A and B are shown apart, each in its own frame.
Chain A
Amino acid sequence: MSGGRARHLYVHLPFCASRCGYCDFVTVVGRSGQHAAYVDALLAELELEQGVLAPRLESLFLGGGTPTLTEPRELERLLRALPPAEEVNVEANPETVTPELAALLRDCGVTRVSLGAQSFQPRLLTVLDRRAGPDDVRSAVYALRDANFDNVSLDLIYGIPGQSAADLDADLSEALALKPEHLSCYELEAKPGTRFTHAHGAELARQAEAMEAYFERVVAGLTEAGFRWYETANFCRQPSPADGRDLRSRHNLAYWRGRDYLGLGIGAVSTIEGRRWRTTPRLGRYLASLRARQRPEREVEPLAEQVRRSERVLLGLRLDEPLPLAGLAEAVDPGAVDRLERLGLVQRGEAGDALALTERGRFLGGGVTAELLA
């Protein structure tokens, strides 16, 4: 069972204690009785897909949902059954990270934990429907440190209804005070038609102008604190002279570099050799198929060569490293490059064989990329 090329594996654990208003991931609330069946199904699916995986994995990422809400016994069973990888990341909600859980994760080979802190202001956490308070975040980080985790990432959300610039600054300094190796900072996306937008849309519209500068504020605050803004929404500590560790998320870098990856679980997406598929988001059907040792339903999207090139450009330009244009020239409109270069938004590499966004270009990355794509 070898020869496959995907060296990155994503496993989706959908269970949550409750659903947060802004969340648009595939989640399942309640159903704690089905954790074992779900882990069985994941392992059955892994067996079916084993062939696409490379013999050695670079990264394994458990996302959710709230992976750490999974029954500890089942989580352990899963972690021990999954193939080993150089980086093993688990997403966690702060309130679930007890010293026992931290020790279990470490014991099962987990190397990195990303904590959904989101904010340190109780009032804003309420707006987001988050259960954890600021103290939960702190004790979670301490528990992880006690269990010898040396790679902890915090997720923050900005642009929350009612969030002032001072609130944002406070969130950044509270987060930095915990000395995480990594930070992911997302602007809140209020999707039209969601419960959240219904409740807070008017307030967000009112604050839109004030919040426009928050992205810049986040980048400025974190880079001043010595973080590298290595991807649109991701920051890591610069390697310390002592250990020289690259603290970027290896798993996520794989996405941005256009690598193949396999996704297991409901709603999980895989991209392998020019095909992308998304497994059914319906828990019952997923469990039933895999009980019968059959592939669950999936939506398949073939990726034409041209589409793959465009994706390479749009993903690659999110990073702070120049994107090598070898093989991608057709995907880029040279006229647009000239125009955007004049506007100080993109930069060609010295030999003209690479392309990068300038700092301003990165703030406008969406529009700039749309214009760049041929």
Chain B
Amino acid sequence: MELDRIRNFSIIAHIDHGKSTLADRILELTETVTGREMRAQVLDSMELERERGITIKAQAVRVTWKGHELNLIDTPGHVDFTYEVSRSLQACEGALLVVDAAQGTEAQTVANAYLAIENDLEIVPVVNKIDLPQADPDAAAAEIAELVGEDPGRVLRISAKTGEGVAEVLDALVERIPSPTGDPGAPPRALVFDSAYDQYRGVVAFVRMVDGSFSAREPLRAMAQGTRFESEEVGFFSPTMRAAEALGAGEVGYVITGLKDVSRLRVGDTLTSERNPASEPLPGYKDVKPMVFAGLFPTDSDDYPDLRDALEKLKLNDAALFYEPETSQALGFGFRCGFLGLLHMEIVRERLEREFDLDLIVTAPNVAYRVLTKAGEEVEVHNPAEMPREVERVEEPYIKASIIVPKDYVGPVMELNTERRGRFDHMEYLSEERVLLVYELPLAEIVLDYYDQLKSRTRGYASFDYDVIGFREGKLERVDVLIAGELVDALSLIVHRDGAYARGRALVDRLREEIPRQFFDVAVQAAIGSRVIARETIKAKRKDVLAKCYGGDITRKRKLLERQKAGKKRMKQVGAVEVPQEAFLAVLNLDGSKK
């Protein structure tokens, strides 16, 4: 296909704003699927592929419209995958920006729209769901036009549900979106914008050919990682997998690599031919690093091998997931896992619990810290317990947060952000009613309960998105917890100096409530280095007897003691102190901290 006949685009939309329905209509209208094949939301359905022995989801679908080849590239829906989103967008020349006529713009839409603008994409604004009774297409069109700097008259108004206006969308794609540029005769370069693992065929790379072409049985190389393989098959999805002789410049499709591990082929890398290699990779490859870390422990320690196997399996399909074994005094054997962000963590946790049927304890998450030690060594710390005591400097990740709220809630949001060490960047009125607030915040301040706080202080109206912008030095302290003088590794945390006392106090109070009284006084302390910042004493028990015990009571008394004994077995020993696992959970557990 000549380059000027190709259009590559993606759809940017907030969840529930109609992305999948619009994709379905496009497939239907272009006769990519016949009416009989048509099922709701083909792109999201995995069953079709399953029937053909492949279990991965199409990340790009090719359709034809009035003599043009249109490639619809799917983007991951969330903030944590900003880098993946940016790679998907890099594979396109344009994007449909879809906004719900009743809901208006959401923070996530804004973030992705900015990402698209940064990637020089031609944006085709679309207001969807104009058939809804509560729709206000004019308001939504004005908002979206303002956002992308477009004439409100050029905003398309459609109903993906009824099909109204969808043909015009396809026409607009052809008219407005530029055709790809690239050199069909140059040494081949293809951008890997996504990959998936199939149990039968290994890693399948989704690529956008920029220069040259690839065919099957061709030795290829990933330029950044250096991974070498032979393409087993090339082709495209329409909507199911179709092998092709070649993928040419400007086209979008897949390459079956036969690789057995997704981490060997990272998103953003450039594929080239071994026989006719390009000299320069495509720009923009980043080695994405996890930013949020948490300990994952099986509730039942016998499940540890199952957790290990499950993480191994997930990792096959999730190159961004990081894990290493962790042993916690309090929680036993588990893994310290690294995630791109909170949602990524939630997804992994949910898959582990749902697909692998595991009961997990997830510790409160922390961020990655860059530490310069007094010895002049630079280390990255993923676990507060590993924070060196003697540090020259600590840097923590910062984010740029976009928050959209009705104007009445600007005050409470500003207050929250100030509490969370936020720095105001700017504020925009998206409409008379809705305000976009942009703040810079330490990532550590949002990993715990920021989102819940934001929701509760704005009665659920706020929408929120963020992007990691880099590391900055912070006045951070490591707070340790000591129970009867013993340091409890699992409870160490890193907090900003200004919040250290309050957090230490809260931890100590909570533990005093949760740790049962022992045979002796137990001191619970929070300390920064050797400086104790909070202390409570759990007073020794003064009595623990069953007063009456005669002939009729013996069995009951014995059972009581057996139960007491069994309770003791579930306790974790911290020095001489018995601490119930629940006490650690109350402090550590993600759910607990949300309350």
Give the B-binding residues of A (Cβ under 8 A).
10, 185-187, 189, 212-213, 215-216, 232-233, 252, 255-256, 261, 263, 267-271, 276, 278, 301, 307, 310-311, 314-315, 318, 339-340, 343, 345, 362-371, 373
Residues from chain A with a CB closer than 8 A to the CB of B576 are 339, 343
Give the distance in Å from the alpha carbon of A251 to the alpha carbon of B520 in the complex.
35
The answer for the CA separation of A164 and B557 in the assembled complex, in Å, is 28
Chain B contacts for A215, CB-based, 8 A: 542-543, 545
List of A residues within 8 angstroms of B547 by Cβ: 185-187, 189, 232-233
Q: Are A368 and B543 in contact (CB under 8 A)?
A: no
Residue contact B564 to A255, C-beta cutoff 8 Å: no
Q: Of B543, B544, B546, B551, which one neighbours A261 at CB under 8 angstroms?
A: B551
Q: Which of B519, B546, B549 sits near A368, CB closer than 8 Å?
A: B519
In Å, the complex CA distance between A232 and B553 comes to 14
Interface string of B524-544 (1 = CB under 8 A from A): 000000000000000001111
Out of A185, A271, A314, name the residue touching B551 (CB < 8 Å): A271
24 sampled A-B residue pairs with Cβ under 8 A: A187-B545, A212-B542, A215-B543, A216-B543, A232-B549, A233-B547, A256-B549, A269-B552, A276-B555, A307-B558, A310-B558, A311-B558, A314-B558, A314-B561, A343-B520, A345-B519, A362-B545, A363-B542, A363-B544, A365-B544, A366-B545, A367-B541, A370-B565, A371-B565
Which chain B positions have C-beta within 8 A of A187? 543, 545, 547
Complex alpha-carbon distance, A362 and B541, angstroms: 12
Q: How far is the CB of B578 from chain A (nearest CB, A)?
A: 9
- CA–CA, A363 and B544, complex, Å: 6
Chain A residues whose C-beta falls within 8 Å of the C-beta of B546 in the assembled complex = 189, 366
Q: Are B543 and A263 in contact (CB under 8 A)?
A: no
Residues 116-147 (chain B) with a chain A CB within 8 angstroms: none
Known: A343-B520, A370-B561. A363 touches B545 (CB 8 A): yes
* CB-CB nearest 4 A-B residue pairs: A370-B564, A367-B544, A186-B547, A269-B552
How long is the Cα–Cα vector from A291 to B233 in the complex, in angstroms?
92
Is residue B550 within 8 Å, beta carbon to beta carbon, of the partner chain?
A: yes
- The tally of residues in B whose CB lies under 8 Å from a CB in A reads 24
Q: Which residues of A contact B565 (CB under 8 A)?
A: 370-371, 373
Which of B542, B545, B558, B568 is A371 in contact with, Cβ under 8 Å?
B568
Shortest CB-to-CB span from A178 to chain B, Å, is 21
**Interface set, chain B 327-367, CB cutoff 8 A to A:** none
A311:B542 contact, CB within 8 angstroms: no
Q: Considering only CB atoms, which chain B residue lies closest to A8 in the complex?
A: B551
Task: Say whether A189 contacts B543, CB under 8 Å.
Answer: no
Structural contact, B545 and A314, CB atoms closer than 8 A: no
When distances are taken between beta carbons in the complex, the residues of chain B under 8 Å from A339 are 576
7 other contacts beyond A215-B543, A255-B549, with CB at 8 A cut-off? A185-B547, A216-B543, A233-B548, A314-B558, A363-B543, A367-B564, A368-B544
Report B-chain residues with C-beta under 8 Å of the C-beta of A367.
519, 541, 544, 564
**B554 interface residue per 8 A CB criterion:** yes
A362 partner residues in chain B, CB cutoff 8 A: 545
* 491-550 of chain B: CB within 8 A of chain A: 519-520, 541-550
The answer to whether A271 and B545 touch across the interface, beta carbons within 8 angstroms, is no
Closest chain B residue to A340 by CB distance? B519
Give Cα distance in the complex from A374 to B558, angstroms: 13
Distance in angstroms from B545 CB to nearest chain A CB is 5
| Cβ contacts under 8 Å, B549 to chain A | 232-233, 255-256, 315, 318
Is A216 within 8 A of B542, CB to CB? yes
Contacts of B557 in A (CB 8 A): 314
**Assembled-state Cα–Cα distance A212/B542 (Å):** 6
Tell whether, in the assembled complex, residue A232 and residue B542 are in contact, meaning their CB atoms are under 8 Å apart: no
Closest Cβ–Cβ distance, residue A140 to chain B (whole Å): 22
Kindly state the separation between the CA atoms of A267 and B544 in the bound complex, as whole angstroms: 27
* Interchain CB contact under 8 A, B542 and A267: no
Q: Is the CB of B561 within 8 A of A212?
A: no
A342, closest chain B residue (CB)? B576
Residues of B within 8 A of A270 (CB): 551
User: B542, A213: Cβ atoms under 8 Å?
Assistant: yes
CB closest residue in chain B, given A186 = B547
Could you tell me the distance between the alpha carbons of A340 and B520 in the complex, rounded to whole angstroms? 11
A278 touches B543 (CB 8 A): no
The closest CB in chain A to the CB of B554 belongs to A311
Complex alpha-carbon distance, A87 and B197, angstroms: 84
Report whether A271 and B554 are in contact in the complex, using a CB–CB cutoff of 8 Å.
yes
- B545–A232 contact, CB under 8 A? yes
B558 to chain A: which residues have CB within 8 Å? 307, 310-311, 314
Cα–Cα distance between A369 and B576 once the two chains are bound (Å): 17
Interface string of B383-421 (1 = CB under 8 A from A): 000000000000000000000000000000000000000
The answer to whether A364 and B552 touch across the interface, beta carbons within 8 angstroms, is: no
What are the residues of chain B within 8 A of A314 when measuring CB–CB? 557-558, 561
Q: What's the Cα separation between A255 and B550 when bound, in Å?
A: 6
B520 / chain A contacts, CB cutoff of 8 Å = 343
Interchain nearest-CB distance for B579 vs A (Å) = 15
Shortest Cβ distance from B567 into A: residue: A370
> Which residues of chain B come closer than 8 Å to A318, judged between CB atoms?
549
Q: Could you tell me if A269 and B543 are in contact, using CB atoms closer than 8 angstroms?
A: no
A367 to chain B, nearest CB (A): 4
In angstroms, Cα B550 to Cα A311, docked, is: 12
Q: How far is the CB of B359 from chain A (nearest CB, A)?
A: 27
| B519 CB contact (under 8 Å) in A278, A307, A343, A373 | A343
Contact across chains for B554 and A315 when beta carbons are under 8 A apart? yes
CB distance from B485 to the nearest CB of A (A): 16
A252-B550 CB under 8 A given contacts A212-B542, A339-B576, A367-B519: yes
Q: Is the CB of A269 within 8 A of B544?
A: no
* Distance of B134 from chain A, by nearest CB (Å): 50
Residues of A within 8 A of B550 (CB): 252, 255
Whole-angstrom CA separation of A314 from B565 in the bound complex: 12
User: A255 and B551: CB pair below 8 A?
Assistant: yes
User: What residues of chain A lie closer than 8 Å to B548, measured between beta carbons?
Assistant: 186, 189, 233
Residue of A nearest to B561 (CB): A370
In the assembled complex, how far is the CB of residue B567 from the closest CB belonging to chain A, in whole angstroms?
A: 8
